[in-house]
Amino acid sequence: MSALFVALIHYPVVDRNGRIVTSAITSLDIHDLARAARTYGASALFVVHPMADQREFGARVIDHWKDGNGRRFDTRRREALELVHLVENLDAALATAAAIAGARPLIVHTSARTEGGVSYAQLRARMERDDGPPMMLLIGTGFGMAPAMLERADIVLAPILGPDAYNHLSVRAAAGIILDRLRGH
Amino acid sequence: MSALFVALIHYPVVDRNGRIVTSAITSLDIHDLARAARTYGASALFVVHPMADQREFGARVIDHWKDGNGRRFDTRRREALELVHLVENLDAALATAAAIAGARPLIVHTSARTEGGVSYAQLRARMERDDGPPMMLLIGTGFGMAPAMLERADIVLAPILGPDAYNHLSVRAAAGIILDRLRGH
């Protein structure tokens, strides 16, 4: 089975007008995505942000639960946060993932705006093969990843859809749903 | 096809020690669950809280996006928030849902701690029948719903599971995943 990694991308992303921006790390995104990553057996969650002070903020969020009073409050939350790595860019995430999995992951792009794209069933089947390569799911914040991230993708995953064309999910729900479609039981 | 309703329950829920408590409404839960409800074609999202001042807080969150500056910022968010009803208790939610759907919904209990339970495939198939009855999904906040809510259920849904026993998802991710399993494409 493929080792699975998740990368939460804060740059380059777009705002509601399509301008390329850097979004802020939020405590809740780290917690929610770490819990989903742990639930679905991901090997690591990379929180990707180019600014050192933002990564330091992320580290404080995690340390509170690993070492502070939060440790006693909820051991399951700590277990999830142990999966989190704060890194400067995608290349740093890929290098760390390669060290963990023993091979460089394929980059899997996710977006609500993709037209076409590989189906979840196809990617799931490929990941369940004995020799499945490691996979790194890119999850965008803000109003989604900038086009430059799409150009780096090895696999472009289809959007999540419900009964009609509206699919404006939060990053917290979307990440959970993508992981569930690929690894849920 | 069954009309689908979601009820986010803030009382009675349990804390980490199993004590029955009332949890607080949060802006982000309303937004995330409303967007998921809209994406998956739910007819309404009931935010259930016994305290009037908490419901007033919830109403201000919604009004900002419906009528204030938020209206211009993101029309998709407004469209999702139009599904939200703030109600005092489950009976009020059921009465409003019955008025919308023309029949009283069956109560569907969800919990990460259920042993056994109806499978998502079974419930989905039942909901896709032409004469499928309306369904009201109960989603607990805090550390999950109190036992009294289970006693009211017509259908008890199986827990969401990944590859192992850890399934400590956030309410924001869990609600999205449940809706996706029942209505996703």
Task: Quote the ipTM score.
Answer: 0.96
Q: What is the per-residue pLDDT across B16-46, written as a single tens digit (0 to 9) for each? A: 899 999 999 999 999 999 999 999 999 999 9
- Please give, rounded to a whole number of angstroms, the shortest distance from the CA of B42 to a CA of chain A: 10
Query: CB B169 to CB A36 under 8 A?
Result: yes
Partners of A145 in the β-ladder: A13
With residue B107 as reference, give the H or E element that holds it: strand B106-109
Which residue in the block uniquely carries the two structure tokens 């369904």? B135
Q: How many domains does chain B have?
A: 1
What CATH number is associated with residue A121? 3.40.1280.10
For β-strands B13-14 and B20-21, DSSP reports them as antiparallel
Q: What is the pLDDT of residues A93-140, one digit of tens each?
A: 999 999 999 999 999 999 999 999 999 999 999 999 988 899 999 999
Interface test with chain A among B17, B39, B164, by most A beta carbons within 10 Å: B39
Q: Which pLDDT score, from 0 to 100, does residue B73 have?
A: 66
The model's pLDDT over B72-101, given as tens digits with 9 standing for 90+, comes to: 667 888 999 999 999 999 999 999 999 999
Q: Would you state the pLDDT for residue A65?
A: 81
Name which of B41, B161, B172 is nearest A32 (Cβ-Cβ).
Answer: B172
Task: Give the distance between the most distant pair of CA atoms in chain A.
Answer: 47
**Rounded distance between C-alpha atoms, residue B142 and residue B15, angstroms:** 6
Report the pLDDT value the prediction gives residue A44, as an integer from 0 to 100: 98
User: Given the structure tokens 């939200």, which residue do they identify?
Assistant: B84
Q: What are the residues of chain B with a beta carbon less than 8 Å away from any beta carbon of chain A?
A: 16, 28, 31-32, 35-36, 38-41, 73-74, 76-77, 79-80, 160-164, 166-170, 172-177, 179-181, 183-185
Question: Which of the residues in chain A have pLDDT under 70?
Answer: 68-73
Residues in chain B: 185
Nearest CA in chain B to A41: B163
Query: Quick check: helix, strand or coil at residue A89?
Result: coil
User: What is the radius of gyration, based on Cα positions, of chain A?
Assistant: 16
Q: Do A40 and B163 touch (CB under 8 A)?
A: yes
The neighbouring-strand residues paired with A81 are none
Domain carrying residue B16: 4-183
- Contact status, residue B107 vs residue B154, Cβ threshold 8 Å: yes
Asked if residue B145 lies in contact with residue B12, where contact means CB atoms within 8 angstroms, the answer is yes
Q: Which of A161, A183, A171 is nearest to A139 (CA)?
A: A171
Residue in B79, B100, B108, B77 with CA at minimum distance from that of residue B7 = B108
pLDDT 10s digits, B45-55 = 999 999 999 99
Q: How many residues in chain A?
A: 185
pLDDT value at position A73? 66
The answer to whether B49 and B86 have CB atoms below 8 angstroms apart is yes
Closest C-alpha to A107, from A55, A148, A144: A148
Of A61, A76, A75, A6, whose CA–CA distance to A30 is shortest?
Answer: A61
Compare all CA atoms of chain B with the CA of A165 and give the residue at the minimum distance: B39
B149-167 confidence digits (pLDDT tens): 999 999 999 999 999 999 9
Average pLDDT over residues B102-129: 97
List the one residue out of B132, B127, B178 whose CA is nearest residue B8: B178
Q: CA-to-CA distance for B71 and B158, rounded, in angstroms?
A: 38
Enumerate the residues of chain B whose CB falls inside 8 A of the CB of residue A114. Answer: none
